[in-house]
């Protein structure tokens, strides 16, 4: 009887050990993509154990079918080449559980039932850049630019873009870099203290991890990092960023690198 109980105990011990090992493995984050092993900073990666999961397709980093150009402590830059007849429904892929489009984009839309005049980018800039683009079968005058212009939030609302603007085609986008004061600069440089940098055929996403900053200092951030609260709809999130003079991902935790003197 004692021998039988020992056997049962050993069997359950082995099963528990295997289960724990599988659980630990599933919690690990694979941050490498491609033959050259492009490595992503915390919390990004390509497996289910990552805080923000991206796609690694044929060595390319993507969100959905869109190529990721760059990832920073504040945003994700996406390549959005000019394309005729791209359904606006494809925008849904850029609204995820941990990222969304910011208002610092000029979405170029077509086939709109009513004019869209809410854009941070002058129409002359759009027409000038895409003047050589051919093949859509419709004039550049039919392109509508939409930004959302803030409205008290950093993010665009997909429902507002899709339903209220009644546009069915996503032609392209222009991402806008802001100056240090958080204002858009003049695109031509003819006024203002400096020129605004426009990233044509790009779209900017803001990102976050779910949670809170917990007052002025988040336990989720490294001691030498600042925490930024993020609110997107009913979702509360945060980002960590190393203080000036420091490098790193800014986060605390076993899988994060934290901050070090840079």
DSSP 150-179: -TTSSB--HHIIIIIT-EEEEEEEEEEEB-
pLDDT at 66: 97
Judgement on whether residues 44 and 137 belong to the same structural domain of the protein: no
Judgement on whether residues 181 and 216 belong to the same structural domain of the protein: no
Give kind and range of the element (H or E) at residue 123: helix 123-129
Judgement on whether residues 248 and 178 belong to the same structural domain of the protein: no
pLDDT at 160: 81
pLDDT at 177: 85
Judgement on whether residues 55 and 155 belong to the same structural domain of the protein: no
| Domain encompassing residue 216 | 210-261
Burial 197-233 (b: 16+ CB within 10 A, else e): ebbbbbbbbbbbbeeebeeeebebbbebbbbbebebe
* The two three-digit tokens of residue 135, written as one number: 């093949």
Domain count, the chain: 3
Residue 254 lies in a domain: yes
Rounded Cα distance, 49 and 217, in Å: 25
- Contact assessment for residue 227 and residue 209, using Cβ atoms and an 8 Å cutoff: no
Residue 13 lies in a domain: no
**pTM passes above 0.95:** no
Judgement on whether residues 143 and 252 belong to the same structural domain of the protein: no
Judgement on whether residues 78 and 129 belong to the same structural domain of the protein: yes
Judgement on whether residues 182 and 257 belong to the same structural domain of the protein: no
Judgement on whether residues 92 and 183 belong to the same structural domain of the protein: yes
In order along its 262 residues, the chain shows pLDDT tens digits of 454 454 444 434 434 443 434 333 347 899 999 876 778 999 999 999 999 999 999 999 999 999 999 999 999 999 999 998 899 999 999 999 999 999 999 999 988 887 776 787 877 787 778 876 765 766 666 788 888 765 667 899 888 887 766 889 999 999 998 755 445 443 333 334 445 789 999 999 999 999 988 755 557 899 999 999 999 988 999 999 999 999 999 999 888 999 999 7
Residue 131 lies in a domain: yes
Judgement on whether residues 90 and 180 belong to the same structural domain of the protein: yes
Give kind and range of the element (H or E) at residue 230: strand 225-232
pLDDT at 36: 67
């Amino acid at each position: 009887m004692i021998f039988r109980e020992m056997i049962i105990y050993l069997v359950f011990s082995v099963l528990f050990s295997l289960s724990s090992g599988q659980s630990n493995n599933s919690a690990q984050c694979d941050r490498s993509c491609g033959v050259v092993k492009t490595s992503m900073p915390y919390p990004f990666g390509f497996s289910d154990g990552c805080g923000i999961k991206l796609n690694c397709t044929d060595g390319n980093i993507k969100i959905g079918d869109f190529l990721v150009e760059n990832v920073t402590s504040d945003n994700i830059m996406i390549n959005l080449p000019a394309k005729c007849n791209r359904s606006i429904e494809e925008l849904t892929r850029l609204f995820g559980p941990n990222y969304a489009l910011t208002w610092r984009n000029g979405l170029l839309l077509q086939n709109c039932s009513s004019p869209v005049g809410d854009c941070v980018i002058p129409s002359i800039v759009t027409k000038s850049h895409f003047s050589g683009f051919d093949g859509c079968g419709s004039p550049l005058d039919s392109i509508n630019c939409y930004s959302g212009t803030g409205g008290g939030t950093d993010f665009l609302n997909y429902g507002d873009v899709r339903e209220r603007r009644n546009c069915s085609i996503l032609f392209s986008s222009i991402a806008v870099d802001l100056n240090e004061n958080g204002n858009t600069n003049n695109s031509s440089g003819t006024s203002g203290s400096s020129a605004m940098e426009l990233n044509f055929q790009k779209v900017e996403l803001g990102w976050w991890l779910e949670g809170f900053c917990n007052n002025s200092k988040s336990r989720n951030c490294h001691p030498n990092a600042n925490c930024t609260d993020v609110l997107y709809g009913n979702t509360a999130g945060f980002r960590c960023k190393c203080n000036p003079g420091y490098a790193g991902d800014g986060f605390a935790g076993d899988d994060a690198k934290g901050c070090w003197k840079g």
